[in-house]
Amino acid sequence: MGLVDEVVGALLIEVCLACILYGVTTLQTFIYYQNFPEDSRVLKGVVGSVWIMETLHTALCMELVYTYSVTHFGDFDFLGNIYWGAGASILVGVFISAAVHAFYIRRVWIMSSGSIPVTAFITLLALCRFGCGLGSFILSLEITEWTPFRANVSPLVTIALGLGCAAAVDVLVALTLSFYIQRDRGKWESGAQESDSRIDTILIYAVNTGAITAISSILSVILFATQKKSLVFLGLVEIQSKPPHV
């Protein structure tokens, strides 16, 4: 049973955490539709699409853990296989990340008054993350066992580069939005203490969200390279798709 604990124990706990974060996303989505009925159909469609993808992603994560820990309970040979649900959840997570990054890049574009250098650089990193994510998914179909998958250089490169770019996008978006919010706060109704408090809350939220996802990305790469048997890295990758988006 030690092998089961080592391979899927941490993954099970992380998927439980991902399910909790999915609940937060669902609540945020509900609150958004309740409080912003006048938003454009496009924006409402983006929010709804992200929630649908999050639902699918959560279902795939649950099915993945169920297969490893229940369906193939006691089948130690199966623990070494890359179950298709792992690749599928990564693929859906890539599209979730792309949608969220596109939304925040649009915010950067608007708040920076159409600054091409800033927006283009962040967009390039987001595209790199998307391409590396697709590459990792394809490699998971070609290399069907965890041991050779983790020993191969190509998966390490696509995962490290992809998650590194994701972390860079999150940090740059957070810092950029914080900079422009701080710069323009004098143009808003900042005379009231309540207004200033809300601005400070937005700044803290932006920085914290970027920091959390960046730390998650870095830990995923480190654990993928060092923990050769455990799937703890996979759980962190799944959690990375669950930060609050709305």
Q: Is residue 60 part of a domain?
A: yes
> Which structure tokens are listed for 227?
């923990």
In a domain, 44, yes or no: yes
Q: Are 51 and 26 in contact, with CB atoms under 8 Å apart? A: yes
pLDDT in tens, 100-156: 899 889 989 988 888 889 999 999 999 999 999 999 999 999 999 988 998 889 998
- Residue 73: give the domain boundaries: 2-240
Mean pLDDT of 75-87: 88
Query: Does residue 189 fall inside a structural domain?
Result: yes
What's the DSSP call for residue 241?
T
Exposure string of 154-192, with b = 16+ CB inside 10 Å and e = fewer, is ebbebbbbbbbbbbbbbbbbbebbbbbbeeebeeeeeee
Dist. CA 137–CA 127, nearest whole Å: 15
pLDDT in tens, 204-226: 666 666 677 778 888 888 888 88
pTM for the complete prediction?
0.86
Task: Indicate the number of domains in the chain.
Answer: 1
Q: Is 127 part of a structural domain of the chain? A: yes
Domain membership flag for residue 245: no
Let me know if residue 114 belongs to a domain. Answer: yes
In a domain, 246, yes or no: no
